[in-house]
Structure 1
Amino acid sequence: MLPDYEKMGVFYLGKADDGGPFLYDARHLLTHGVVIGMTGSGKTGLSIGLLEEAAIDGIPAIVIDPKGDLSNLLLTFPQLRAEDFAPWVPEGKDPAEEAATWQKGLAEWDQDGARIQRLRDAAEVSLYTPGSSSGISVSIVKSLDVPDAAVLDDPEALRERVVAVASSLLGLVGVDADPVKSREHVLLTSILHGHWSKGKSLDLETLIQRVQDPKVAKIGVLDLETFFPLKERFELAAMFNNLLASPSFAAWLEGEALDVSAFLRTKAGKPRISIFSIAHLGDAERMFFVTLLLHQMVGWMRSQSGTTSLRALLYMDEIFGYFPPVANPPSKAPLLTLLKQARAFGLGVLLATQNPVDLDYKGLSNTGTWFIGRLQTDRDKARVVEGLAGAAGGQPVDRPALERLLSGLEKRQFLVHDVHEPRGPLLLRTRFTLSYLRGPLTREHIRALRPKVAAPPVVETAVEPDQGAAGTASPLPVLPKEIVQVFLDPRTATLVPYLLGAATVSVADAKVGLDVTREVVFAAPFRSGPVPVVWDEAVWIDTKLGELSGEPPEGAEALVDALPDAAQKAKTYATWAKDFAGWLVKNQGVSRLKSKSTGLVSEAGEDEAAFRARLSQAAREERDAALDALKAKYAPKFDALRDKIRDEGLAAQEARAAADHAA
């Protein structure tokens, strides 16, 4: 039998001031939250407890961990044996004593190993180490890819992404650039915006080339050479080239792509807590990665449907430097966007800091829940009270009372200011965490954990035909004008002949509401022998037919291998086109998944993980709607009981006062 606190949609965070369980409605995080507390206040324990509760409730989370403390979420030992703790216990401590301490601590909070197992079964925890191979590596190769349509269709969102990426890139090479005054920044934003607005992706190599030759005559009203001479552009390009050539930068080019959907769910749809440990990075690298990840979160958010239920969490530990009150680092704009807009899409944002002074409280004015622990100085307390007053939405705030409460807080005790709580600020004593809190993990610890961590599914990507296959070079043939020739952008001057098939594929089924149309481009290699083309050997090309050039690339003089005779006859192409159409019918259908319990059917292009996530969200919304209806039904009775208790309390006070007066 589950404990009374184990309820769907409710987080068990500890005990209230009256000794009962402190239960926090998960949906309150839709208006976001902030955790503030000095070192030793219990801030990390509370944050880990919140993430544990989210995981048990089936809510995935992306965790940005600048200090390395949140990696402790991987240290969960259901059997609570000393040998399980031994590899992770800090030097000088006894594993048996640590195991006993955790077993006793959990029992005091009505928890046990079974709840730890429930946590492990509910969600997968993955540890990523950007710029390092200690944990799961993260590749930024696709970070310069053209953003999703949701961003491209929003001029403000596209502008924010362009400015942030340009600032982050310049920060990597040590250029502290002002977005308005810096030539370097203006040039990069011009390049990025020019490519992305045309639907074209970039990589670092192309970016370096475009810095030297932007393919534009003017920047603003000034001609390019006046605005930014070639010699100085070359110096900037050389800085990026040195970065790309650096052995230490190689770790950024390998690993999993920045795919938010894959970070939130496994391929089977299981919730995931993805922790991005960045403690090993320098300041510029941290800012670069955090900014990229936050913008990926914004893009993912805008691709989701609206909801009134919590879909996912974004947690960032130690926000110091990323969300300051005056300065505007690249990370600030996407954070502000998330705080303003994420609620409508079911994304909760939870921020934490031990430095309450360097925090943009104006940006946090709409934050619904404040968890405030022990603070170091009177200045810190005054700053937090000021922030609470700003978040009160015009409601009166008893500042002296708040300051007295803050001054009396003990370790692991927090003042909880929740705008959804009619009783006002409450006191919380945090529970024992299910995870073993040993402090930041070393690189050796992270390497030891890596085999146990499942990486996100590999995303299938388009294949570009081989540009340098071995063979005998032949001159470029002169083909009949009826045969259309197009060219990919090769890396060498020798070309490989392929048969290109392009089509618009439509699939419709009124019974399941299916109506999908998409453009496809495939390239099949020519073979020797009686059958020169087999469409089963074709590779998908990630481009549109209209984007391919009809002119051979400069310097292209020869083909690798001769073109088959059949490929030089126009009438052959009609037969190949017919074969291609038949192959598409057999191979380009749309598979659909269906839930027997709900009757919901997956949408075109929706994989199993996304479909299961949608089913989970639909169930959560249905549950929340039923809970709201139940609350609305019994609210009058609760209000009447509350009024009765208040009236009887007042009557009792008056009776005591009368009795005292009579005496």
Structure 2
Amino acid sequence: MHDYEKLGIFYLGRVQTPKGETTPEWMLLESRDLLTHGVILGMTGSGKTGLGIALLEEAAIDGIPALVLDPKGDLGNLLLTFPELRPADFLPWMDREKAARPGLSTEALAEETARSWRQGLADWGQDPERIRRLREAAEVVVYTPGSTAGRPVSVLASLSAPAEAVRQDPENLGDRVQATVSGILGLLEVPADPLKSREHLLLSALFQKVWSQGRDLTLEELIHLVQNPGLPRIGVLELESFYPAGDRFELAMRLNSLVASPSFQVWLQGEPLDPARLLYTPEGRPRLAIFSTAHLTDPERIFFTTMLAQAALTWIRGLPGTSSLRALFYLDEIFGFLPPVANPPSKRPLLTLLKQARAFGLGLVLATQNPVDLDYKALANAGIWFVGRLQTDRDRMKVSEGLAQALGSAVDPKGLQEALGSLQHRSFLLLTPGQVPTFFKTRQTMSYLCGPMTREDLRRAQESSPPTTATPTASARALQTPPLVEEATETGGKAATEVSSGRPVLPPEIHQAWLPADPSAQTWKPVFLGVGRVHVEDRKLGTRADRELLVLVPVTSGPLPMDWSSALESGLAPARLESAPSVDLPCEALAPSLADPHSYVRWGKEFADWLYRTQKLELYRSPSLGLVSAPGESEGEFRARLAQAWRERRDEQIAALQARYAPRMEKFKARLERAAEAAAKKEADLSQQRVNTAVSFGSTLMGALFGRKALSVSNVQRAGSTWKSASRVREEERQVERAREKLADLQEEGRSLEAQFQAEVQALQEQVDPIREPLETVELRPRRTDVAVRLLGLGWAPVGPTGKPAWRV
């Protein structure tokens, strides 16, 4: 099989005739076509899952990441890729009951399966090397919200405030608030009408208030806010009239029961639900992020789907527009999430994605057994339809009428209904606006299909996958910093620290501030606190950045109280500083210099010098694309952006290549068809001439041999005519030979044109891989005038056991 993987082409199978006969022609789909969104329809057993997995495999090979919602547990099979195709690879996934029926051992069944899988791949032009490319191209991870069977994902540990761009957009912020509140209330099984439900209106007002200030929110804080909202009224009604305290307490208790539930604690663990981090590894490698929700209850499943869809919506709204496919959002068995009549919390964000996502490069693919499972607005936003076997004549009639209405006069409802009735297992009809409907049979997947995977199956499958290092969050990075005090004394015991129960009295010139404490805090440690601003700029690169740092430095009672080598960047935004302690903890003793206002004057100069010497901005630069990373962008994030830029450039080059070669191909095709027709006509004329000559010569010979006279005058005349006819045959043969030579020359010209085209294709394929390209480092440093000290004072840092930082970032 030709290597189309780098050209944005998905290999899905082979074209079929309307009668179901499979042809040698490949069924190829341009990746960009999925920007119009797709729908896969098919009853159980139609091959719908196989087609979905094939789509995702092709996306992975092309470097396109995907968010995959898997309510049934089928798509975890993407973990089962075996490049060596050894029986031992298949053995753990053999069905013992299936082996027992034909009297086989599981080992024998594994050998038979490995052999048949290898043969099946070969029948579809695939080999083990292609499986290896699939494994190397993208990482496959199965996340299990509410469970540790796969990789856990944190949905509610921190209801993080949206980015500033989202907060500044009232519509965007409103969508985020509504989806989050609807999801939480849906989980509590509380009616969640955004216009009528007082629970929804109250929680929305609380989220709007907290998030507008740029503050994160936890469920624990939300419970306290429900009881004491700090809101005088909701709309025009007084709070107590609209939602009395006693009723609010009932809502708080329901939220508290959720938080207190041992099973719910798993929802608070794992990676945050952030598509920017889920779609790529820390190194920038694309990822198929599969969210298995088969183990969840219906309310939990709808809650998670709502949160995932809203996270995707928030993510794309911060991206630049593109005409290339950036990522896929694949939703298997969409039943219940996007119904035509009901209004579950998941419906609004999914409909909004279908309307807006294509402009940002996100293509949605929805799979379902029945078209009546989907809202008509969703169906109207789909541009690609894969229709497989349907259960009943009524289903086929509805689909045919709906597609005829959506796709226009190119589709005949009656003919389409008859065609759908003839579809077999793994056969689909592809319909797109303005294109002739195409029948095709799906290729064999490279992933082994063992059926729905249980939580134990997922745990076993992921144990064999290589571990991936997650990018630490800001709070995690803060907790990885060195302790603010020594962990142990020379004797091995804990360091002795003088602790006072009261706060010291200080001169009014000394500014004091407290860092927000987390539950592990045990004492308040006095430190020098400085807030500085650093500006760096490079006009040539078009880069400028301003950074504000909150720096803490331990101060001792020795002759050199300040050691700037132990300065610690807190990771905390200066706006998070508090003017009073948030919790009552003992305070450690104050070094004398911290109580002297003159010390801060000296330290201010040292702080400015420290900022100038230590602060720099390191950026990455791609030699092949000439792009430079943005300030604060990690290497993995930059490589992901490079991959998208490379894909956009590749798509433009492919379009240019197609535009350049299309007219030449059309002209050549016309010439080749004329030459072939001329050669065929010459062949036919020569064949007829040979028949006529043979008949004439035979008549002459028979008359001469068996007639009354051995050589009559008429026979002599007839023989002369026959010899003339034979001369014409020889001339016809020469013309046929010339026609054949011309056809052969044209065919050689065609091979030359194809070789030229393939050479240019190969040049595109051999471009630098943005995931593996060595990056250059660009270092920008501030000038002295670009450094400013904004705040100096005494900081009170909460510390836990062994002096580890215990503040909330």
**Is the structural similarity TM-score above 0.5?**
yes
1:32-51 aligned within 5 A: 32-51=37-56
Q: How does 1:184-333 map to 2 (within 5 A)?
A: 184-333=199-348
The answer to whether structure 1 residue 161 and structure 2 residue 166 are counterparts is: no
User: What one-letter code is carried by the residue in structure 1 that aligns with 2:629?
Assistant: S
Instruction: Provide closer, same or farther for how the CA distance between residues 248 and 4 of structure 1 changes in structure 2, counting only shifts above 3 A.
Output: closer
Partners of 2:375 and 2:669 in 1: CA distance: 38
CA shift at 1:417, angstroms?
0.7
Partner amino acid, structure 1, of 2:654:
L
Residue 563 of structure 1: which of 590, 593, 610 is its match?
A: 590
Does the aligned pair in 2 maintain the 1:150–1:299 contact within 8 Å? no
Deviation at 1:255, TM superposition (A): 1.3
> Equivalent of 1:76, from 67, 77, 81?
81
SS at match of 2:378: coil
Amino acid at match of 1:418: T
Given that residues 256 and 458 in structure 1 are in contact (C-alpha distance below 8 angstroms), is that contact kept between their aligned partners in structure 2? no
Give the stretch that moved more between structures: 454-463 or 465-474: 465-474
Residues 186 and 345 in structure 2, CA contact (< 8 A), matched pair in contact too: no
In structure 2, the residue corresponding to 1:106 is in which secondary structure?
helix
Task: Name the residue aligned to 1:520.
Answer: 549
CA distance in 1, matches of 2:368, 2:498: 61
C-alpha distance in 2, partners of 1:311/1:29?
A: 10
Partner of 1:407: 421
Partner of residue 10, structure 2: 11
Q: Do the aligned residues in 2 keep the contact of 1:361 with 1:390 (CA within 8 Å)?
A: no
Shift of 1:41: 0.2
Please state whether the residue corresponding to 1:290 is helix, strand or coil: helix
Which residue number in structure 1 is paired with residue 637 of structure 2? 610
Indicate which of 460, 473, 480 corresponds to 2:500. 473
**How do 1:477-488 residues align onto structure 2 when only pairs under 5 Å count?**
477-488=504-515
Moved more, 512-521 or 448-457: 448-457
When structure 1 is superposed on structure 2, of 226-235 and 33-42 the one drifting more is 226-235
What is aligned with 2:27? 22
Distance 1:432 1:532, change over 3 A: same
2-structure distance, mates of 1:367, 1:162: 27
Matches of 1:82 and 1:223 in 2, distance apart?
71
Residues 67-105 of structure 1: CA distance to partner in whole angstroms, max 9, x if unpaired?
000000000111111111000122223211211221111
Q: Secondary structure of 2:205's partner?
A: helix
The answer to which structure has the higher helix fraction is: 2
Q: Cα gap change, 1:546/1:261 in structure 2, threshold over 3 Å: closer, same or farther? A: closer
Kept in 2, the 8 Å contact 1:38–1:374? The answer is yes
Q: Is the 8 A contact 2:484 2:554 kept in 1?
A: no
Name the structure 2 match of 1:459: 472
Q: Cα distance 1:531–1:173, how it changes in 2: closer, same or farther (>3 A)? A: farther
Q: Distance in 2 between matches of 1:236 and 1:645?
A: 77
Q: CA deviation at 1:538?
A: 4.5
Matched, 1:118 2:145: no
The answer to whether the 8 A contact 1:467-1:494 is kept is no
> Separation in 1 of the partners of 2:574 and 2:85?
60
Say if 1:436 and 1:580 are closer, same or farther in 2 by CA, change over 3 A.
same
Mapping of 1:523-534 within 5 angstroms?
523-534=552-563
Q: Percent identity?
A: 51
Does the CA-based 8 Å contact 1:267-1:456 persist in structure 2?
Answer: yes
Does the CA contact (< 8 Å) of 1:80 and 1:103 recur in 2? Answer: yes
1:362 partner SS:
helix
Residue 369, structure 1, aligned to residue 396, structure 2 = no
Aligned twin of 1:446: 458
Distance 2:639 2:337 in 1: 34
Change (3 A) 1:104 1:528: farther
CA contact 1:126–1:454 (8 Å) conserved in 2: no
Partner of 1:499: 528
Q: Could you say which residue in structure 1 is the equivalent of 2:430?
A: 416
Is the 1:339–1:364 Cα contact (8 Å) retained in structure 2?
no
1:589 aligns with 2:616: yes
CA shift, 1:286, in A, is 1.2
Q: Aligned-pair distance for 1:434?
A: 0.3
Are residue 631 (structure 1) and residue 636 (structure 2) matched?
no
CA 1:25–1:137 in 2, change beyond 3 Å: closer, same or farther? same
Amino acid in the other structure paired with 2:43: M
Q: CA deviation at 1:478?
A: 2.2
Q: Cα distance 1:533–1:230, how it changes in 2: closer, same or farther (>3 A)?
A: farther
CA contact (8 A) 2:557 2:592 kept: no
Structure 1's unaligned 5+ residue stretches are 651-663
Distance 1:379 1:542 in 2: 61
Q: Structure 1 residues 323, 108: CA separation in 2 closer, same or farther (over 3 Å shift)?
A: same
Q: 1:364 to 1:152 in 2, by over 3 A?
A: farther
Q: How far did residue 641 of structure 1 move?
A: 7.5
Q: Which has the larger radius of gyration?
A: 2
Counterpart Cα distance in 2 of 1:267 and 1:417 = 38
TM-score normalised according to structure 1 size: 0.91
Distance, in Å, in 2 between the alignment partners of 1:296 and 1:115 is: 33
Equivalent position amino acid for 1:199 in 2: G
Q: Give the whole-Å Cα distance in 2 for the aligned partners of 1:160 and 1:341.
A: 13
- Structure 2 unmatched ranges of 5 or more: 17-22, 100-108, 486-494, 678-809
Residues 149-177 of structure 1 deviation map (CA, whole Å, 9 limit, x = unaligned): 33223211211111111111112222122
Question: 2:120 maps to what in 1?
Answer: 105
User: In the alignment, which of 415, 431, 437 is matched to residue 425 of structure 1?
Assistant: 437
Please tell me whether the aligned partners of residues 142 and 258 of structure 1 are also in contact (alpha carbons under 8 angstroms). no
User: Do the aligned residues in 1 keep the contact of 2:166 with 2:173 (CA within 8 Å)?
Assistant: yes
- Contact residue 496 and residue 559 of structure 1 kept, 8 A: no
When structure 1 is superposed on structure 2, of 204-213 and 486-495 the one drifting more is 486-495
How many pairs were matched up?
Answer: 645
Q: CA deviation at 1:499?
A: 2.5
Match of 2:111 in 1: 96
Asked if 1 retains the 8 angstrom alpha-carbon contact of 2:282 and 2:471, the reply is no
Structure 1 residue 39 displacement after superposition: 0.2
Q: Secondary structure at the match of 1:324?
A: coil
How has the CA–CA distance of structure 1 residues 206 and 317 changed in structure 2, closer, same or farther, with 3 Å as cutoff? Answer: same
CA shift digits 1:10-60 (9 cap, x unpaired): 011000124311111111011111111100000000000000011111111
The change in CA–CA distance for 1:604 and 1:329 in structure 2 (over 3 A counts) is same
Structure-1 separation of matches of 2:2 and 2:668: 26
Asked if the contact 1:138/1:252 (under 8 Å) is kept, the reply is yes
Does the Cα contact within 8 Å between 2:387 and 2:430 map onto a contact in 1? yes
Cα shift at 1:205: 0.8
- Output the aligned Cα RMSD: 2.8
Change (3 A) 1:510 1:69: same
Measured after TM superposition, the shift of residue 644 of structure 1 is: 9.2
CA distance in structure 1 between the aligned counterparts of 2:94 and 2:58, rounded to whole angstroms: 24
Q: Call closer, same or farther: CA 1:236–1:500 in 2, change over 3 Å.
A: same
Give how far 1:7 is off: 5.2
Q: Does 1:170 align with 2:182?
A: no
| Number of the residue aligned with 1:379 | 394
CA distance in 2, matches of 1:374, 1:149: 48
SS in 1 for 2:430: strand
Distance 1:217 1:7, change over 3 A: closer
Contact 1:188–1:211 (Cα < 8 Å) also in 2: yes
Give the C-alpha shift of residue 230 in structure 1.
1.1
Equivalent residue runs for 1:532-543 within 5 Å: 532-541=561-570, 543=572
Q: 1:229 to 1:532 in 2, by over 3 A?
A: farther
TM-score, structure 2 length as denominator?
A: 0.75
